[in-house]
Structure 1
Amino acid sequence: MSYTIVAGVGMTKFCKPGQQQPYRVMAAQAINDALKDASINASKIEQAYGAYIYGDSTCAQHAFYDVIQSGIPVFNVNNNCSSGSTALYLARQAILSGQVECALAFGFEEMQPGALGSHWDDRESPFQRAEPVLERFDAPDGPLALRAFGAAGRHYMDKYNVGSDIFAKVSAKSRSHAVHNPYSMFSKTMTFEDVLQDRVIYDGYMTRTMACPPTCGAAATILCSEAFAAKHGIKNGVKILAQSMATDTEKSWQDPIYAAGKGMTEMAASQVYNQAGICPSDIDVIELHDCFTTNEVITYEGLGLCAEGGAAEFIANGDNTYGGKFVIGPSGGLMSKGHPIGATGLAQCTELTWHLRGQAGDRQVADARIALQHNVGLGGAVVVTLYGK
């Protein structure tokens, strides 16, 4: 079986809106870091896929031209919050098809302060399909992402008779991991009581520190074939063992948990496990899409890490952190590291590559051999990627 190799990775330190450099500068820095990490010249890149959602078309070219103007195909990728992983997915497909031997996936974002909103109010929203289920379950008004993940969390609490403290405990866990990540936007620890006592932003239970902040930053990944890696002396590469993308089915509109992406997660994860011939218990380290800690809890079950309705026990046992069954979000996750949308999937790839190489510093997961990445975008798409040494 032929594998695609992660040859080089790079990312900027994420920051709050207003503190960033231009997206072109951030993206070029991440790309150059990835090239240096892979020890290859930019002229070796045969195709590039640039992910972002806020910006005019051909922003990817504008950023890539700061690195090299070699005339290669450059593709602009927008798939909501899964844009970065979608770029990775497309670059891998190009290599597996035999079209190219070396491809670049990169992502960047300059976000504005405040909740996410649409820039296209003069036409239909792709999120209108979710409205009936949110209304049927009495989701209070608010920005779309807050409503979707807030309603999912409320439905989970009602369905399994648990309190919002489980979401607060996940937030505190993520903050404790971020302390050891120099690339994280937040580095201050919080207790779950601190999270519960923070300002409530939705539906009487979701506090500010259960939601990830708007963020700016960039990340990049160099992918290549095994033959290219051998030819160019790339000895520190990480294999992509399996990868899958799933989109919504009719099941997505049955309840808020599935409207937030659980069905897509189940489908993509199952395909990845089957492709690789593994089960969830084989995984050592995970970066998942914790844009809200409600989504992290739902994703535990979507990925098969615990039984349906078993997240509270899973969290109480510490099975989502060091010393437990899995280390989930060693970077601090989107919740603490930040979520510059186009860059997020590539930042997850970067973090997991460092762990598999043994380069993650004080947050290193000991003896990590298999890593899983989960990235979701409402509207919708989920990409699950499995990496191995």
Structure 2
Amino acid sequence: MTHTRIAGVGMVKFSKPGQNEPYRVMAAKAIKLALSDAGIEYKYIQQAYASYIYGDSTCGQHALYEVGMTGIPVVNVNNNCSSGSTALYLARQAVEFGAVECALAFGFEEMQKGALGSHWDDRESPFDPMLNKLSEISTAPEGPLALRMFGQAGSAYIEKYNANPNIFGKVSVKTRSHAVNNPYSLFANKLTLDEVMGSPIIFPPYLTRFMACPPTCGAAAVVVCSPAFAKKHGLTNANVEIVAQSIATDIADTWTDPMKLIGSEMTAKAAKEVYELAGMGPEEAQVVELHDCFTPNEVITYEGLGLCDEGQAEQFICDNDNTYGGKFVVNPSGGLMSKGHPIGATGLAQCTELTWHLRGTAGKRQVEGARVALQHNLGLGGAAVVSMFRKV
């Protein structure tokens, strides 16, 4: 086994629902960008993994056929909000274990306006057990699934560690300050702490509108290959390797508080496995892209990834250790909060951003001296995917 290389990356700028092209068109554009970045033709792709959650079966084939029809295996991946990283995980496995030399992971989503909802209300929901458990262990008011779960997790964090609720607003301010330098970000205007804390409350008592990511449409793609394939074809951009990846799912006896219900335990488990596989800890990373669908999740994830000790996220934020000049630069892209969260594309867009930083091509938002990067992508229901990348 040898570490899989990231040969090419590509993404389209995300857009608001109703302002997007069809998913087929967005996905094809992202794939072509990734192929061009890698410097290879589509005929060299031996397997493809397509991630999305809103769409009929074989949407992946429909999108990929826009690029070419070569008869390769295409696997459609639905792992909720971690679908993009799950597709990358599968593509990496195929290369790393020698099934193929070159594979493609791509993701896309056409989303609707408003809070996320299920399109399958004629059958059991996989979230029913989680919501029932949340009702048992908390007094969370009713509301849409994601708002209720992440909002109550934020409240639980504040209560457990006696933290100032404005830390959620400070994360929003930090994230928007990064987005200003990202031409791919949907929102690129700065926010003040007063603006964030004073925006409409969407889930009481702490969660405001500027602490939540917007529903968006878009696509991203990543080409991975073996080092031998990169050498054979003279791929000069294949200088980032996937050092380690892990996918963790829920453990029954950890559903004991709202933070664990939204994946803090899964995150910690996946992170621990990645650090063991990589032989490196989080302190080796300079840049991090993590799943900030709501800013409370970013705060909780700092601790799950080991960027700071348990209960120390407030100090971590106040010391500016989550931004330029601090210990880590977290979400230099502006994160899901600013860039948008077209679910199937998100994990691959995170990988694209980190690859640009490790290559030194991230423009004004470049993290200087970036050699190791950490990625976190979370899906309720559940799956947490943690990945570590390194410049070679």
User: Do these two structures clear the TM 0.5 threshold for a shared fold by scoring above it?
Assistant: yes
Aligned to 2:114: 114
Check whether the contact 2:274–2:387 (CA below 8 A) recurs between aligned residues: yes
Check whether the contact 2:164–2:314 (CA below 8 A) recurs between aligned residues: no
Aligned to 2:294: 292
Query: Offset of 1:236 from its aligned partner?
Result: 2.1
Aligned to 2:41: 41
Give deviations 1:164-190, integer Å, cap 9, x for gaps: 200000011000000000000000000
- Pairing 1:170–2:174 present: no
Give deviations 1:308-338, integer Å, cap 9, x for gaps: 1100000000000000000000000001110
Percent sequence identity is 66
The residue correspondences of 1:279-358 to structure 2 (distance < 5 A) are 279-358=281-360
Give structure 1 stretches of 5+ with no counterpart: none
Check whether the contact 1:25–1:63 (CA below 8 A) recurs between aligned residues: yes
Give deviations 1:200-246, integer Å, cap 9, x for gaps: 10012210010100000000000001110110111222100111110
3-state SS of paired residue (1:372): strand
CA distance in 2, matches of 1:255, 1:8: 40
Query: Offset of 1:132 from its aligned partner?
Result: 3.0
User: In structure 2, do the counterparts of structure 1 residues 68 and 368 end up closer, same or farther at CA, with 3 Å as the change threshold?
Assistant: same
CA distance in 2, matches of 1:252, 1:184: 35
CA distance in 1, matches of 2:225, 2:254: 35
3-state SS of paired residue (2:174): helix
Aligned to 2:200: 199
The correspondence for 1:250, drawn from 233, 246, 252, is 252
CA distance in 1, matches of 2:228, 2:253: 42
CA distance in 2, matches of 1:208, 1:315: 20
CA distance in 2, matches of 1:112, 1:241: 36
CA distance in 2, matches of 1:227, 1:381: 32
Aligned to 2:21: 21
Aligned residue type for 2:266: M
Report runs of 4+ in structure 1 exceeding 4 Å deviation. none
3-state SS of paired residue (1:48): strand
Aligned to 2:104: 104
Check whether the contact 2:155–2:205 (CA below 8 A) recurs between aligned residues: no
Check whether the contact 2:104–2:224 (CA below 8 A) recurs between aligned residues: yes
User: In structure 2, do the counterparts of structure 1 residues 251 and 284 end up closer, same or farther at CA, with 3 Å as the change threshold?
Assistant: farther
Q: Which range moved further: 243-252 or 43-52?
A: 243-252
Aligned to 2:78: 78
- Pairing 1:129–2:129 present: yes
The residue correspondences of 1:2-21 to structure 2 (distance < 5 A) are 2-21=2-21
3-state SS of paired residue (2:247): strand
Check whether the contact 2:244–2:387 (CA below 8 A) recurs between aligned residues: yes
Give deviations 1:62-107, integer Å, cap 9, x for gaps: 0000000001011110000000000000001111121100000000
Query: Offset of 1:292 from its aligned partner?
Result: 0.3
Check whether the contact 2:85–2:385 (CA below 8 A) recurs between aligned residues: yes
CA distance in 2, matches of 1:302, 1:188: 29
Query: Offset of 1:263 from its aligned partner?
Result: 0.5
CA distance in 2, matches of 1:344, 1:329: 12
3-state SS of paired residue (2:345): helix
Check whether the contact 2:200–2:209 (CA below 8 A) recurs between aligned residues: yes
Give deviations 1:127-163, integer Å, cap 9, x for gaps: 1121233112111101111111011000001111112
Check whether the contact 2:85–2:377 (CA below 8 A) recurs between aligned residues: yes
TM-score by length of 2: 0.98
Give structure 2 stretches of 5+ with no counterpart: none
Aligned to 2:232: 231
Aligned to 1:371: 373
